[in-house]
Amino acid sequence: MPHLPPAQGLGFRMRPSGGKSGRPAARSVHGVSEVSASWWWWSQAPLQLKNLPVNSFSLEFLTELIINLEKLENDKTFRGIIITSDCPKAFSAGVDLREICGKNPAHYTEYWKVLQDLWLRLYLSNLVLISAINGPCAAGGCLIPLTSDYRILADNPKCLIGLNETRLGISAPFWFKDPLVNIIGHRASEHALQLGLLFPPAEALQVGIVDKVVPKDQVQSTALSVMTQWLAIPDHARQLTKNMIRKPTADLLVKHRDTDIQNFVSFISRDSIQKSLQMYLAKLKQNKD
């Protein structure tokens, strides 16, 4: 892991709500983020993503997320995580475009490798992962939902979800496409991916990219109730089954990850792509005004 300087506004929060176990809240500060590990409910941890303003995946944020997931995975008292956003504007805006614009090939290589690491850790996690999606998530912003076991989306027209890469003039990586195919099927994925569809809640539910749509103020309580159902299953049986179903998909990335990195680095280093990225970033800033 690279050494990371302290940063403000970056972190993950595990919010206490009068935990049933009676355990005292543990609070520790690590490098870039403050992690307050408390018990909210027996063996489930709410993980709130907070990289203001839009939870874009900076290298630093990705690295911290991986470290925190590893800690939860190794802490045998946790059996599941509810992942949500603590940023009002988005669940996640995906790849942080500043990480892939105006940097050098070594940086792009490291960035893509860490993004792959996060995907692998999530996709093969032994924990029950539930995405409580309380904001928009486009393209790379779908990484966490697509690698989760269950997705709950807030019923708000701003909460668009989907792999819209083609609309940005790029193609989704195969390891984004594969989980989508596994979730919504081949034909629906062809349609969604080629057209770069971003689904509003009702359509997202219909196509199956999310499992439930509920009013925004019920996303957390619904996630808790779904988690209770999943935790009623013995861990070892559920984990073996999850692994059996997901391993072939994960193995594809493991096998092809070096080639995938090379392809990404050579693509992103092109002058034409760098120019498009600069224009897209400028457009995002203009839209704000």
List contacts with ligand L6WJOLX4 (CB under 6 A).
53-54, 56, 89-90, 93-98, 100, 136, 138-141, 165, 168-170, 172-173, 268, 276-277, 280, 284-285, 287-288
Closer to ligand L6WJOLX4 at the Cβ: 58 or 126? 58
Strand blocks (E) in the chain: 10-13, 26-30, 33-37, 44-51, 56-57, 80-85, 94-95, 128-133, 137-138, 150-154, 161-162, 212-214
Min separation Cβ 78 and ligand L6WJOLX4, Å? 28
**What's the closest the beta carbon of residue 241 comes to ligand L6WJOLX4, in angstroms?**
29
| CB nearer ligand L6WJOLX4, residue 14 or residue 154 | 154
Q: How far apart are CA 129 and CA 145, in angstroms?
A: 9
Structure tokens at 172: 């989704």
By beta-carbon proximity to ligand L6WJOLX4, the closer residue of 80 and 140 is 140
Q: How far is the CB of 32 from ligand L6WJOLX4 (least distance, A)?
A: 17
For residue 141, the minimal CB distance to ligand L6WJOLX4 (Å) is: 6
Task: Let me know: does 221 contact 154? Beta carbons within 8 Å.
Answer: no
Minimum separation from the CB atom of position 40 to ligand L6WJOLX4 (A): 27
Q: Beta strand pairing status for 80-85 and 128-133?
A: parallel
**Coil, helix or strand for 221?**
helix
Nearer to ligand L6WJOLX4, 42 or 267 (CB): 267
Please say whether the beta carbons of 176 and 142 come within 8 A.
yes
Q: Sign of dihedral through CA atoms 61, 177, 221, 121?
A: negative
User: Based on CB atoms, which residue is closest to ligand L6WJOLX4, 146 or 152?
Assistant: 146
